[in-house]
Structure 1
Amino acid sequence: MANHALDAFLNDPDPAARRAEFLAFVGPRSEGFLHLYDYLVRHPESESTNRLGSGLAYNGFSAPAFFLGPVYFFYRKMWLWGTGYVIGLLALAAYPLTSRVDIGLGIAMALFTRWAYVHHAIRTITTLRSKASEIAPDDRQRFLDTLAQAGGVSWTAGWISGVLFALALALAVMQTLG
């Protein structure tokens, strides 16, 4: 099933405006995301035919997502993804001998994260654009500021989830050793 909002965004007649919105939303360290976004804009048919899109090949490996796990999702304000990751880890912890699955989950998330974030950004931008009626040219900067606030990163969420993640890891190590 094609994602019409995504297709509409990628095929918009004003690609420069959409790119500016994407950059405003992503915030710092946008290079990896921008590479994938530009690929999808050049090849929107790959998204229509395959949910993952052949753009996944341009996704790359996200070391922060691999090493930090859910912390990275909370840092990037992907609340549902971070929560889902934590629930997945807790579910796996209930079963013995799942350490190899944990590594597999980390690798999958590291390979999938940029793709997920680009889609998250486009969905959020599309939602915010639909809530704002016609954006007047003098309101354009205010809309970009709204996108920057909705997207970007949350150092607070990153630090809090990082501390909690470190405590959970320390607890797991102590239980393993003790």
Structure 2
Amino acid sequence: MSNYIGCKCPVCQQPFTETDDIVVCPECGAPYHRACYQKQGGCVYASKHGTDFEWKPDPAASQAAEAGRADSARYSDPQLACPVCGAPNPATGLFCENCGAPLRGTPDRRGPAAGQTPPPPYGGFGGQIPPQYGPGSDQQDPFAPNEPDYSNPFGAFQANFVPGGLRVDPEEELEGVKARHWAAYLGKNAAYYLTNFKSMQATGRKVSASFAAFFFGPFYFFYRKMWTEGLVLLAINAVLRIPVVLQLMAYAGHPMAAAIPEQPLNILLAISSTLNIVLMFLQGMFALWLYRRRGAANIRRILETSQNADPTAALTKAGGVSVAGAVISVVACTALIYAVSMFALWPVLTTML
């Protein structure tokens, strides 16, 4: 029946469709709708029967019939799901008809498409994923195209601005250090850092936005075990808070702030507020560059001391994250702020007691 799709019924002149009930004249082969044939009472070409007449479709109808058969066969083949958008495609297709992505050879983040073999861990590097990526992890491949990891306290504020993500080869060197050593050192959220480090190295830029460093400042650096940078930022923040403490002391009538003129104090407050905003932007834009330098230096030192031994355990221990460091720094800063506030407002508090 599908051979006549696109051809016209000689009685009603309507093209045949896939669902039509079609009958064929046994003498000349002319197709009809069953209802049209019965209504006509026979073949319209009956006068030509007995001669050499044979019904043939016109060329346009033949092309339509061929297209109909090809389309029918095409969609009766096994379907191949697109590894990017998931849309169904003919198994013989090369590119997705919905998004244009290649149907083969493309990493599938939800799993391999039909007929594909799942890629080995690390895109072909190594064997099993090392345990340093955390118990209960989803075995994130640090060498796969990047997706931000939201599983750590700062991950929700980390954004990857590398268009489309970058794929990092395990043997590729970043800052003179192989990516597989970086992955062991970085631990949590390694893919985010590797793709950003590669982009920074390729472009030669030092600026790369980190919302974690922007919002959390010194605590982000403690979390990533950058102790020196975290302490320096804490010291700078403490200096910038001095005008605020002096204002509190003046408000409370503290004797140590009695001689401070109001107008210069207001100017100091405006300057410190501006510098604090500038500091937030600087730490947010240059945190990844500082981390890359600090990490490369630490990794090279560990590789030199380990010599022929496997450095993975040492890299994992030296790198990764320190939740304890972040928590202790937050608690210490909170206690310090509380103590300074009590000291500044002591005259007011004594009158209330």
2:197 paired with 1:37: yes
Q: Which runs of 5+ in 2 are unaligned?
A: 1-170, 244-267, 349-353
Post-superposition Cα deviations, 1:52-95, rounded to whole Å, max 9, x if no partner, equal x3253xx22x2221221111111110010001101111222235
What TM-score comes out, normalization by structure 1 length? 0.70
Q: Which has the higher helix share?
A: 1
| Equivalent AA in structure 2 for residue 161 of structure 1 | S
Gaps of 5+ in 1: 1-13, 47-52
CA distance in 2, matches of 1:28, 1:18: 17
Structure 2 residue aligned with 1:77 = 225
- Greater relative CO (CA pairs within 8 A, separation 6+): 1
Distance in 1, Cα, partners of 2:299 & 2:321: 15
**Helix, strand or coil: the match of 1:82?**
helix
Contact 1:39 1:55 in 2 (8 A): no
Q: Does 1:15 align with 2:176?
A: no
Q: Which moved more, 1:124-133 or 1:145-154?
A: 124-133
Residue of structure 2 in register with 1:10 after alignment: none
User: For residues 81-133 of structure 1, what are the alpha-carbon distances to aligned partners after superposition, in whole Å with 9 as ceiling and x for unaligned?
Assistant: 00110111122223531012111101110111111111111111011112222
Q: Please tell me whether residue 127 in structure 1 is matched to residue 301 in structure 2.
A: yes
SS at match of 1:106: helix
User: SS in structure 1 opposite 2:316?
Assistant: helix
Counterpart-to-counterpart distance in 2, 1:55 and 1:67: 19
Q: Paired residue for 2:107?
A: none
Matches within 5 A, 1:49-128: 53-54=204-205, 56=207, 59-60=208-209, 62-95=210-243, 96-97=268-269, 98-128=272-302
Larger C-alpha radius of gyration, 1 or 2? 2
Task: From the two aligned structures, give the one with the greater strand fraction.
Answer: 2
TM-score (norm 2): 0.38
Q: In the alignment, is residue 25 of structure 1 matched against residue 185 of structure 2? A: yes
2:206 and 2:286 in contact (8 A); partners too: no
User: 2-side partners of 1:67 and 1:168: how far apart?
Assistant: 20
State how far apart, in whole Å, the 2-side matches of 1:171 and 1:104 are. Answer: 27
Task: Indicate the residue corresponding to 2:81 in structure 1.
Answer: none
Identity %, equivalent residues? 26
**RMSD (Å) for aligned C-alpha atoms:** 2.5
User: How many correspondences in the alignment?
Assistant: 146
Structure 2 vs 1, CA of residues 92 and 160 (structure 1 numbering), >3 Å: closer, same or farther? same
